[in-house]
Amino acid sequence: MQKILITGANGLLGQKLIEALKDREDLSLIASGKGDSRLPDTWSDQFIWESMDITDPLAIEQVMSNHLPDYIIHTAAMTQVDDCENNKEACWESNVTAVAHLVKSCEMHDVHLIHLSTDFIFDGENGPYDEEAVPNPVNYYGESKLAAEEIIMKSSCKWAIVRTVLVYGLASDLSRSNIILWVKDSLESGKNINVVTDQWRTPTLAEDLAQGCILIMDQSAQGIFNISGKDYLTPYDMALQTAEYFGLDKTLISKADSSNFSQPAERPLNTGFIIEKAKSELGYSPKSFMDGIGILSKQLKLADS
């Protein structure tokens, strides 16, 4: 029986991974997060919960040596890009130093590390990017995620780096929102929103990302894999499609561009990924953005019922 340890299990991807893996009888699942589990109570007998702060090397070593997992899927990170810009020390500790601790433990216990990374390692000058593109981050979050990749690539453990883009989906009690929920909530409350037309992304349904990670695990794949959605869209297009799907007032959505819409951390303009490697080597097959909204909409109806 293979043992899988998931970090950041209370997060969006973490919850989708647990949901997708919890019924598998060939696996034993260890979910971990900062503090207590916020996963649905109905799942609680399908995994072991470990409270593990990834910035605490002793906690990591204790969990790793107790369970001796075959794979660790490392989703935990400081993901609020503007917070990373404003609190660089905390960002480095969570996104880089913690990865160094995990790598050391993976080397010691012969664990295959599957690590989550981002399109924000690129400058957005010439996206969409393939796995060979040269990184050049424009914000501190991107710098931290790139530094983590470099530590992993130099390590002697088995590793896969999963790069992804603008993840959206529904899960319980999240500490971070995402584009569809943000647009839907804003329009439903009659709020005007300014949405950029000069950034391009391949937005990723959280369930697709979880499937990509699982394909990598099941095939013991190593190396870098781009795992994102397949549609190349601006956030403005995404907002319009969200409004259209939910029958909301599109006139509340105004066009903005990066020169008149400023956030504390600069965002790269054109990122997005070429996903041919994941399709041909792993059999990865993501949904369209419209199908993704449909899936999320069904989940919202279920959650409300």
Ligand X SMILES: Cc1cn([C@H]2C[C@H](O)[C@@H](COP(=O)(O)OP(=O)(O)O[C@H]3O[C@@H](C)C(=O)[C@@H](O)[C@H]3O)O2)c(=O)[nH]c1=O
**Tokens 């995990």 map to which residue?**
102
Q: Could you say whether residue 195 binds ligand X (CB under 6 A)?
A: yes
| Residue span 259-298 as binding mask against ligand X, x where in contact by CB under 6 A, dash where not | --x-----x-------------------------------
Query: At closest approach, how far in Å is the CB of 263 from ligand X?
Result: 6
Using CB under 6 A, which residues numbered 2 to 61 contact ligand X?
Answer: none
Show the beta-strand stretches assigned E in 123-235.
159-164, 167-168, 193-196, 204-205, 223-226
Residues 250/251/254/255 CA torsion (nearest 10 deg): 60
245 binds, among ligand NDP, ligand X, none (CB under 5 to 8 A by kind): none
Query: At closest approach, how far in Å is the CB of 244 from ligand X?
Result: 17
Closer residue to ligand X (CB): 105 or 178: 178
Q: Could you say whether residue 199 binds ligand X (CB under 6 A)?
A: yes
116: closest CA among 28, 45, 257, 12?
12
59 binds, among ligand NDP, ligand X, none (CB under 5 to 8 A by kind): none
Show the beta-strand stretches assigned E in the chain.
2-7, 27-33, 48-51, 71-74, 112-118, 159-164, 167-168, 193-196, 204-205, 223-226, 253-256
Q: Which residues, listed in sequence order, are joined to residue 74 by a DSSP beta bridge?
A: 7, 115
* Neighbouring C-beta atoms of residue 206, cutoff 10 Å: 25
271/228 Cα distance (integer angstroms)? 11
DSSP-derived letter for residue 135 is: P
Q: Could you say whether residue 91 binds ligand X (CB under 6 A)?
A: no
Task: Write out the residues near ligand NDP by the rule CB under 6 A.
Answer: 8, 10-14, 33-34, 53-55, 75-79, 94, 116, 118, 164-167, 174-176
105 binds, among ligand X, ligand NDP, none (CB under 5 to 8 A by kind): none
The binding site for ligand X (CB under 6 A) comprises: 79, 81, 118-120, 165-166, 179, 193-196, 199, 235, 256, 261, 267
